[in-house]
A and B are shown apart, each in its own frame.
Chain A
Amino acid sequence: MAKTALQFRHNGRDVAIFVDGGTNLLVALRELIGDMTPKFGCGQGGCGACSVLVDGELHLSCLTLAETVAGRSVETLDGIKDGPNLHPLQRAFADNFAAQCGYCTPGMLMAAKALLDRNPSPSRDEVVEAISGNICRCTGYEPIINAVLAAASGGRARA
């Protein structure tokens, strides 16, 4: 079956790939572009491990038909750090022990970034709502919520 040419912006860089019909964005990112930061969790939209930003909006890459991002901007965890410097959210996750096994972390960070990009000082309830589509089986969520709140308050860890 013929492949389809697909061009989009990936973390600020133009990329062009050929995809099979029906390929999802997660497979395109991991297997065709080599960006391993979005994770495969459930493939059903239940876990949020594959979360990315499409034109700044939080989307599940495993449920996104790759062709639908043609000409659009896709941002993954790989693109949020500034050279060797961690993004304030990444720093806050490290400082607040918000990652244990780390599998949910890329999705959590993108969900948190989607929140802070439009609401720089969210309430605790807004943080809980923002990460409600992301499952973590290690931390019990509290350190993650605290990390997002810490990053929102200028990177200062809360007592």
Chain B
Amino acid sequence: MPVTVRTFTSSGDAAAALSSDRSARYLGGGTLVMRALNEGDISISTIVRASDHALSRIEATGSRVTIGAGVTFARILAERDLAFLHAPARSIGGPAVRNMGTVGGNLFAPNPYGDFTVALLALDAMVSVQGGLGSRDIPIEEFLQGRERQTGTLVLSISCQKPGQTDAFRYRKIARIKPKGGSVITLAAHLPVNGNRIVGARIALGSMAPTQIRARAAERALEGRSLDAATISAAAAAAAEGTAPGDNALGSAWYRREIVGVHLRRLLSGQE
């Protein structure tokens, strides 16, 4: 069924069009919205696009990085200052999907996708959105919890602090097909160390709940401690707490709960 395509030069006009029409969806790289159209999703009657250059800007020279919502994973991989995000970017799709898929779209990607967002959640990213009432910054966790209500808002950019030490940020995606495949589970950890102690531990999980979530019990097990064998065991034992994984063709909920601690242990102890 034909849909109406509306293209705007300013993201503000695109956001206004998006918020005034419940059946409008924003088209970024196309890997979600075009797929929905190909599958005959009749809830979409309008496609909104914006050619605003601000949406594809990367600011990565300082300690805080800002990535426009329209930046593709291929561009992240080409950016030396974003090396800490290369592992999550590389874990997504094949080359064509990385040439098309965007950071902003990944925030809306349902299970078993949305791996990049797992990394952003562990990095306490802020999501800058524009709705009918103006723009504002939302912590990514809050954004994800209300994701179903966010379809009328336009994501402008995502920002986060660069990890202080390179090994403070770790990422691991478990897939059945390598190098490409949907996520069985995805894990990201940000463990800033002050002296010998972890301060501000963040563990984020993908495919362990309807949206990406933080493993708060595992974070508590790590907070204020040094990353030794006992601490890693305590975090691994707590990894499944508070999660609500589902069954799909890649794995059952039971399997996901069984393996999440195993992979968290490997991630924290630096095993391949």
Contact = CB atoms under 8 A, between A and B. Distances in A.
Majority-rule SS of A interface residues:
mixed
Contacts of A57: 74, 99
A111 B2 CA distance: 30
Contacts of B29: 63
Interface in B94-135: 94-97, 99-100
Majority-rule SS of B interface residues:
mixed
B39 interface: yes
A114 B95 contact: yes
Contacts of A43: 35, 38-39
A21 B96 contact: no
A21 B34 contact: no
B100 A24 contact: no
Interface in B11-31: 27, 29-31
A75 interface: no
Given A21-B4, A22-B37, A58 B95 contact: yes
B94 A48 contact: yes
Nearest to B99: A57
A63 B30 contact: yes
Given A62-B38, A63-B30, A63-B34, A132 B4 contact: no
Contacts of B2: 1, 20-23
A21 B47 contact: yes
B102 to A, nearest CB: 12
A133 interface: yes
A43 B93 CA distance: 15
A68 B30 contact: yes
B94 A44 contact: no
A36 interface: no
B95 A130 contact: yes
Interface string B39-72: 1000000010100000000000000000000000
A20 B94 CA distance: 29
A65 B5 contact: yes
Residue from the set A23, A48, A133 with the largest chain B CB neighbour count within 10 Å: A133
Contacts of A73: none
Nearest to A4: B5
B5 A22 contact: yes
A4 B74 CA distance: 30
Residue from the set B2, B34, B97, B180 with the largest chain A CB neighbour count within 10 Å: B34
Nearest to A50: B96
B270 interface: no
14 contacts: A4-B5, A21-B5, A23-B2, A43-B38, A59-B100, A60-B31, A62-B38, A63-B31, A63-B35, A65-B34, A65-B49, A67-B7, A129-B95, A133-B94
